[in-house]
Amino acid sequence: MAKVTFTAWKTKAQLLDVRSEFYPPAWYNGPDMRSHACATVEAWKLRGNVPHHVEATALLTDAILHDDGQRNSIFSIRATYSAAFCRFVTGLVDTKVTGPRRTMFQRAMDLGLPASFVELRHEATHREPPSLVVLRKATQRSLEWLWDNYWANIDSDGVGGATVPGHDDSIPMTTALSQVLQEFMRGSGSRPMQKKRKREQEDATAGRLLEVCGASKDGMNAGLAALSTILLDSNLLFDSERKLGDSMDAMFNKWDPVLQQVAGFHSSVLLFLSEELVHNLVLNAATESSMNTQAEGLFLWLEHLLTAPVWELQRPSFPRDYILAVCNAQSTHWTRILAEKLQLQQQDTTAVMSHTQMTASTSPKRLAQPAAVEIFSRKLQEHGWGFAEKWDSRPLGITSSN
Amino acid sequence: MKRKAEKQQSAAPVSAMSAVAARRARQQQAQAATIVKPDVVVEITTEPPSKRPRRSLEGQQITHNCEESKGRRTRSSTKQEESSPPVTRAGRPKKTLKSDQLESPSNGVVEENEDSDQEELEQEQREDDEEMAEDEVASVIGDADGYESPADTPAELQNFPLSKARLNKSNIIYADDDTMCVRIKEKTNLALLGQYDLWVKRGVVSLMGAKLHPSARVYRVYAPSTHSLPVVKCVSGVDGEAEVEIRSCKSGLIRLRDISPLYQKVWNEGNTAADKLTLKSALKNSRRTFSVLYTSADDSLKRHLRPLHLDKKWSASMKALSQRHGQLRVLVCGPKASGKSTFSRYLLNHVLSPAPETENGYINTDGCAFLDLDPGQPEFAPMGQVYLAHLRAPFFGPPFTHPSLDDSRDGQILRAHHIGATSPKEDPDHYALATMDLMEQYRSLLTRYPQCPLIVNYPGWIFGQGLEVATWLIKSLGLSDVVYMSEKGPVEVVEPLNMAANEARIPMTILPSQPTDFVSRSSAQLRSMQIQSYFHLSHPSGLTNPLWSGAPLSRTRPITVDYAGEKQGILGIMVLGSHISPAMLREVLEGAIVGVVAVESPNAIMATATGSTDEPVDDDNEGDIDADEDVEMGSGEQQVDGAASGSIADGILRTPEEDLPYLCVGAGTSVPLNPSASNCLGLALIRSVDVKSRKLELSTPIPSSRLHDAIEQGHELVLVRGQLDNPNWAVSEEYYSARAAERRYQKSIARGKKSSHSAVGQDKQNETLAILRERIRRASNVPWMTVVEDNSRRHREAVARREKSLWRLRKKAYPASESETDW
């Protein structure tokens, strides 16, 4: 069940940037970026969809920045602290709750908010603003609380709400990858699964694989390369009981959804996987025989990646030329067939390409798009109004130049 | 708690109120306040907050008039959505890169299956829709406005009567697969759901306040399930019967359901018993764009449908008001959700009814002016604007079916001001100035159309400052009537209004508020629907009725405008409210809605700062306005042009990284454009800032001729970024559209299987599906949006709960609701 949420930040990276501006890491010794972070949150607020935790952090930080006895009166400093602190607590505790009425204290307890915060808020709203000592301390604690309850968790999940158990950093990546893969193998065991369950499982696996690969010290590509190696080394792509000439469809059906999801984000996985496949095919002496099951399996995978319609979209990243070169260099039964297939396909695609180009140029949609001249008068064009010249459908917030 | 807030409000009324309004209002207000205050506290204790308990009393009665009904949330038993011709549109939406390869297969499948068994199709669709409905609701959760709260489905009459008339062989004159001509007996009525063209052939019928006589004119009617259903009622007939022809129409509005969940399950669904009767057996499966409903149980989606019958007092008052003919100047005000806009809409239609010459000698040839002061839910414009419109013909449908008027023969917007917020309380001074300027416009309209009446729709902002503005308007606008839309006070509002009316010697009518207590869309949702409709609407020349496009905005070609350099097309970009750091301007602009405002003179910017303290209110500056409008345009263009850039240049700051012209005037908070020298042309969505070429990319439905005219007259264009609701609808359009495309294709495959002549191979299907899924994946990975697979039980339960729920209108007439969020 997909849940669509809207964020004030364009990308997750922006939120992470703001976090490191609010809470600079220990080793950081650059300029103080906290006021920049406050300004950013201020700008986000204009857009809406800002979580209360983010807003509260900005307010509290702003109050700290305002705490300068030389320039501001003590009253204004206390008032700023009080206002920020009250908004922080009230906003948290007040989030429209349906259900039985509960006291502020009860709700604070549910949220894990120290009871002293509620008390202090009460004091600040109904009595004199508390003393600066108390306010400074409370603000500091609030920021810590916000870190623990919000900021610390934003890396792992999509929006910055609930936490997802992250993988353990101490395990080497390869181990982590094999764990995920083994789990997938076990999960998709012999018994038939509900379609929906299956899809969920595939999504989850792909997501975790990406996560592990992304966490690789040497970058995403290193992770994906490692993934390809593991897939082949652990013989996960083949059914161990398969005999020569048996169909591989079961295996394809099993892995395609996961691999495709991964490829959807990083198409380079196809590159690594196919290279790995062809290397295995060529470099293993045993696979030269046309009767080797293993070799046939490798070949069938390559052929599948090369021809199956499901891989159509990712095919541009298929290292055709490289594989062709390898095949030609190491001629065996299987590489010969593969090379033939590749060459044949190449001819086909050139034909298709020219065909699509032809149809594209006469596509009625293009013609329907009225020229700028017709819509915008000369005067308007002189004033800088017109249509985007180069344009492909792209989401809001993305310019052609980036 | 509430009472405390109450007291504070009335004790400290005057704050940042317009200098203009305040000066006028203050003295009298002070008097009024002192007189009224004693009752205040007492009254509140006895009187429950407005009319919440209403429905327990009247819910069972048939008085459920106006306003919306229940939409998709009751989908307990379902059928497929919508009468859907678009099933055929299955594979269409991928115009992208790979599209060409794809176009043929998918279309092939679809064409092939078009004639397959409808019943089966429905089965299929039912399942698919189920899936969609889940996340559509999820995405909508949590945008309740202050006065609405999600409510569970009330245990109400499921079998709510809608039509009195019953169709039978004798009163069906003719019918085919998209037309139906029927006779309706006097005093009976027919409720229709959907979209249709209505042609009155004999007798007189009433519809949404308008009285329609036989004529050659055909009226387009939009009757979505989100609002109470308009009923076609026979007022007087020939031989006791009226004859009407109802015809299916295609406006494209239905297509918006592909790009927004809010537009789903809005229209008619399948054929009702009454429909089947009028469709000959051979045509049983055809789908009209409308359905006849006898009771709400006829609806296959079991939505919360209510007819819109006029309350007796409403119709009596409408009649009385329209007796004033050209002298009518009425202000309609009242608490939130009390039915102000419904009443205004009906009154407007009533006034605009084209009466035949014979009836009473009065012919309305001057149309009617509509001054819409509610920027939260404007009738003929998207949110954030106040405007004066001049209308010539009645409009049948809720606001999202006419989000703009394109100088059509039926109506045009004479002048609009961008408030930049859904509530005037952000800047009451500016609001008051804008109102005064629009009144000036009305006065100048009167010189051309002396018999043009005026209807003023005031927002539900009637506490504190809102009350001050309202009383001041009553005293200063030169009205003929005031209508207050609540019989339940509250007294501290009614009394001051009454006093103001007395003082201005105009009668004040108090009407019962609308009896609806549940709506299927919150006001934030309706705003979103309306603005989305606005951006997808076009008025092709040569067509009487507008058309909607269902293509996501991100798939339309952007309009660009230079923001720097020789051809700079906009003078500057203004951000309303507090100043922002110039470095943040781009952040604030991208993916935001801005008002496109034509600045008519350099005073528009500078004068507001100084000028507002003297009186743009007074009648004596009529001359100035006229000068702005007429004289300057002719002669002084060049001068104005030069002067404008000269004086405004000081206010323009170039942002460090992008070189954007940031127009910021005022200390700490920006001074808005002076309404007397500016005119809002409409809204635009900034898609992105292309820094390299110094261009803004935008989408806007503003006709280029309007931009041209403004520039031709030497006006400068300013983009005003206010605090309108974030366009989440625009961000997610492509995603929903991609989902819809995939769903359709799945359906067509399933149908192909059943009809067992699958023309396209499995491989081809998989390939197509892969492309469609790829499109979904890409569309879900866009700025400002996250799509998470959430299968937790909590989410599921929440969704299930939402599905069954409606929005309960609290109709709170207390300021407590105002202090929170918006209204």
Domain boundaries, given as residue ranges, for chain B: 172-308, 314-514, 558-725
Query: Does the pLDDT of residue B595 top 90, yes or no?
Result: yes
* Nearest CA-CA distance, residue B271 and chain A, Å: 30
Euclidean distance between CA atoms B731 and A49, whole angstroms: 13
Please indicate whether, in this complex, the C-beta atoms of B789 and A200 are within 8 angstroms of each other: yes
Please indicate whether, in this complex, the C-beta atoms of A398 and B688 are within 8 angstroms of each other: yes
Q: How confident is the model at residue A155 (pLDDT cuts 50, 70, 90)?
A: confident
Q: How confident is the model at residue A143 (pLDDT cuts 50, 70, 90)?
A: very high
DSSP A310: G
Residue bearing the bigger pLDDT, B185 or B10 = B185
For residue B110, what pLDDT is reported? 36
Q: How confident is the model at residue A189 (pLDDT cuts 50, 70, 90)?
A: low
Q: How confident is the model at residue B168 (pLDDT cuts 50, 70, 90)?
A: confident
Please indicate whether, in this complex, the C-beta atoms of A3 and B730 are within 8 angstroms of each other: no
Q: Any idea which of A217-226, B257-266, B446-455, B551-560 has the lowest mean pLDDT?
A: A217-226
Residues B173, B205 contacting (CB under 8 angstroms): no
The number of angstroms, rounded, from the C-alpha of B196 to the middle of its chain's C-alpha atoms is 19
Residue of B nearest to A46 (CA): B723
Residue of B nearest to A370 (CA): B557
Please indicate whether, in this complex, the C-beta atoms of A385 and B590 are within 8 angstroms of each other: no
For residue B7, what pLDDT is reported? 41
For residue A374, what pLDDT is reported? 57
State the DSSP string of B627-693.
IIIIIHHHS-HHHHHHHHHHHHGGGEEE-TTT--EEE--SSSBPPPPPGGGEEEEEEEEEEEEETTT
Euclidean distance between CA atoms A252 and A238, whole angstroms: 9
State the DSSP string of B365-393.
-S-EEEEE--SSS-SSS-TTEEEEEEE-S
Query: Does the pLDDT of residue A56 top 70, yes or no?
Result: yes
Residues B494, B502 contacting (CB under 8 angstroms): no
B481-484 and B508-510 strand pairing: parallel
Q: How confident is the model at residue B749 (pLDDT cuts 50, 70, 90)?
A: confident
Q: Which residues of B touch A196 (CB under 8 A)?
A: none
Residue of B nearest to A396 (CA): B687
Of B100, B581, B734, nearest to A356 by CB-CB distance is B100
For residue B401, what pLDDT is reported? 93
Please indicate whether, in this complex, the C-beta atoms of A5 and B786 are within 8 angstroms of each other: yes
* Consecutive H or E run containing B469: helix B465-476
Q: Which residues of B touch A4 (CB under 8 A)?
A: 135, 138-139, 732, 735, 780, 785-787
Find the mean pLDDT for residues B213-232.
89
* Consecutive H or E run containing A78: helix A74-94
Of A3, A260, A363, nearest to B795 by CB-CB distance is A3
Please indicate whether, in this complex, the C-beta atoms of B560 and A387 are within 8 angstroms of each other: yes
Q: What angle do CA B10, B14, B17 make, to 5 degrees?
A: 130
* Nearest CA-CA distance, residue B795 and chain A, Å: 9
Please indicate whether, in this complex, the C-beta atoms of A46 and B704 are within 8 angstroms of each other: no
Tokens of B98: 């790979």
Find the mean pLDDT for residues B722-748.
90
Tokens 């299916």 locate to B248
Q: How confident is the model at residue B802 (pLDDT cuts 50, 70, 90)?
A: low
Residue of B nearest to A402 (CA): B690
Q: Which residues of A touch B695 (CB under 8 A)?
A: 384
Q: Within 10 A of B312 (CB to CB), how many other CB atoms are there? A: 10
Q: Any idea which of A310-314, B234-238, B246-250, B613-617 has the lowest mean pLDDT?
A: B613-617
Q: Kindly state the percentage of chain A with pLDDT values over 90.
A: 15
| Rg of the Cα atoms in chain A | 29
Euclidean distance between CA atoms A286 and A283, whole angstroms: 9
Residue bearing the bigger pLDDT, B50 or A323 = A323
| Rg of the Cα atoms in chain B | 27
Q: Which residues of B touch A11 (CB under 8 A)?
A: 783
Q: Which residues of A touch B776 (CB under 8 A)?
A: none
For residue A34, what pLDDT is reported? 92
For residue A231, what pLDDT is reported? 82
Euclidean distance between CA atoms B512 and B342, whole angstroms: 13
Please indicate whether, in this complex, the C-beta atoms of B767 and A5 are within 8 angstroms of each other: no
Of A3, A380, A399, nearest to B711 by CB-CB distance is A380
Three-state secondary structure string covering B286-301:
CCCCEEEECEHHHCCC
For residue B60, what pLDDT is reported? 40
State phi, psi for B225 to the nearest 5 degrees.
Answer: -75, -10
Query: Does the pLDDT of residue B815 top 80, yes or no?
Result: no
pLDDT tens per residue across span B624-678: 433 333 333 333 333 333 334 446 667 788 888 889 999 888 777 888 888 988 9
Euclidean distance between CA atoms B294 and B163, whole angstroms: 5
pLDDT tens per residue across span B480-508: 999 998 888 788 888 889 988 888 889 99
Of A159, A369, A395, nearest to B554 by CB-CB distance is A395
Please indicate whether, in this complex, the C-beta atoms of A395 and B734 are within 8 angstroms of each other: yes
Of B139, B591, B704, nearest to A396 by CB-CB distance is B591
Please indicate whether, in this complex, the C-beta atoms of A393 and B767 are within 8 angstroms of each other: no
| Phi-psi category of residue B441: left, alpha or beta, with phi > 0 → left and psi -120 to 50 → alpha | alpha
Please indicate whether, in this complex, the C-beta atoms of B555 and A393 are within 8 angstroms of each other: yes
Query: Does the pLDDT of residue B325 top 90, yes or no?
Result: no
* Nearest CA-CA distance, residue A398 and chain B, Å: 6
Find the mean pLDDT for residues B397-417.
88
DSSP A30: S
**Preceding omega of B490 cis (within 30 degrees of 0):** yes
At A91, the amino acid letter reads G
Give the closest residue to B330 by CA, choosing from B226, B480, B437. Answer: B480
Q: How confident is the model at residue B476 (pLDDT cuts 50, 70, 90)?
A: confident
For residue B548, what pLDDT is reported? 92
For residue B631, what pLDDT is reported? 36
Give the closest residue to B670 by CA, choosing from B418, B473, B438, B436. Answer: B418
Find the mean pLDDT for residues B238-266.
89
For residue B617, what pLDDT is reported? 39
Please indicate whether, in this complex, the C-beta atoms of B790 and A264 are within 8 angstroms of each other: no
Of B570, B581, B787, nearest to A39 by CB-CB distance is B581
Counting one residue from chain A and one from chain B, the pairs whose CB atoms sit within 8 A come to: 225
Query: Does the pLDDT of residue B135 top 80, yes or no?
Result: no
Residues A242, A292 contacting (CB under 8 angstroms): no
Query: Does the pLDDT of residue B781 top 60, yes or no?
Result: yes
Residue of A nearest to B721 (CA): A46
Residues B343, B382 contacting (CB under 8 angstroms): no
**Integer angstrom CA distances of residue B331 from B370, B588, B707:** 10, 37, 32
Find the mean pLDDT for residues B126-154.
45
Q: Kindly state the percentage of chain A with pLDDT values over 70.
A: 81
Please indicate whether, in this complex, the C-beta atoms of B777 and A264 are within 8 angstroms of each other: yes
Find the mean pLDDT for residues B586-598.
92
- Most confident of the ranges A332-336, B361-365, B664-668, B687-691: B687-691
**Max alpha carbon distance in chain B (Å)?**
83
The number of angstroms, rounded, from the C-alpha of B20 to the middle of its chain's C-alpha atoms is 30
* Consecutive H or E run containing A207: helix A195-214
For residue B256, what pLDDT is reported? 92
Euclidean distance between CA atoms A70 and A73, whole angstroms: 8
- What is the total residue count of chain A? 402
Give the class (CATH, top level) of B172-308: mainly beta
Of A4, A388, A391, nearest to B787 by CB-CB distance is A4
State the DSSP string of A335-370.
HHHHHHHHHHHHHHHHHHHHHHHHHHHH-HHHHHS-
Q: Any idea which of A156-170, B279-293, B331-345 has the lowest mean pLDDT?
A: A156-170
Of A48, A391, A396, nearest to B783 by CB-CB distance is A396
Euclidean distance between CA atoms B189 and A311, whole angstroms: 59
Q: Which residues of B touch A401 (CB under 8 A)?
A: 690-693
Q: Any idea which of B61-65, B766-770, B810-814 has the lowest mean pLDDT?
A: B61-65
Q: Which residues of A touch B774 (CB under 8 A)?
A: 264, 313
Q: Which residues of B touch A313 (CB under 8 A)?
A: 98, 770-771, 774
* Consecutive H or E run containing B241: strand B241-248
Query: Does the pLDDT of residue B128 top 60, yes or no?
Result: no
Of B100, B134, B688, nearest to A360 by CB-CB distance is B100
Residue bearing the bigger pLDDT, A9 or A206 = A9
For residue A266, what pLDDT is reported? 73
For residue B57, what pLDDT is reported? 38
Alpha helices in B115-196 (DSSP H): 118-138
The number of angstroms, rounded, from the C-alpha of B623 to the middle of its chain's C-alpha atoms is 34
Q: How confident is the model at residue B357 (pLDDT cuts 50, 70, 90)?
A: low
Q: Which residues of B touch A377 (CB under 8 A)?
A: 704-705, 708
Residues B33, B496 contacting (CB under 8 angstroms): yes
- What is the total residue count of chain B? 823
Please indicate whether, in this complex, the C-beta atoms of B779 and A385 are within 8 angstroms of each other: no
Residues B593, A48 contacting (CB under 8 angstroms): no
pTM, two decimal places: 0.71
For residue B397, what pLDDT is reported? 92
Q: Could you tell me the fold of the domain covering B314-514? A: Rossmann fold (3.40.50)
pLDDT tens per residue across span B17-56: 444 444 454 444 444 444 443 333 333 333 333 433 334 3
At B311, the amino acid letter reads D
Give the closest residue to B728 by CA, choosing from B758, B767, B759, B685. Answer: B685
**Integer angstrom CA distances of residue B699 from B256, B572, B662, B690:** 17, 18, 20, 14
Please indicate whether, in this complex, the C-beta atoms of B553 and A396 are within 8 angstroms of each other: yes
**Integer angstrom CA distances of residue B214 from B217, B239, B393:** 8, 15, 15
Euclidean distance between CA atoms A108 and B580, whole angstroms: 34
Please indicate whether, in this complex, the C-beta atoms of B565 and A384 are within 8 angstroms of each other: yes
Of A157, A309, A381, nearest to B767 by CB-CB distance is A309
Please indicate whether, in this complex, the C-beta atoms of B771 and A379 are within 8 angstroms of each other: no
For residue A98, what pLDDT is reported? 54
Euclidean distance between CA atoms B557 and A388, whole angstroms: 7
Find the mean pLDDT for residues B78-100.
39
3-state helix vs strand vs coil in chain A, percent to 5? 65, 0, 30
Give the closest residue to B348 by CA, choosing from B457, B443, B214, B226. Answer: B457
Residue bearing the bigger pLDDT, B742 or A344 = B742
User: Hey, is B23 helix, strand or coil?
Assistant: helix
Q: Any idea which of A386-395, B208-217, B634-643 has the lowest mean pLDDT?
A: B634-643
Residues B484, B330 contacting (CB under 8 angstroms): no
- HSE of A366 in the Cβ direction (CA atoms, 13 Å)? 15
Please indicate whether, in this complex, the C-beta atoms of A384 and B568 are within 8 angstroms of each other: yes
**Please, what is the average pLDDT of chain B?**
74
Q: What is the distance in angstroms between the CA of the first residue and the CA of the last residue of chain B? A: 20
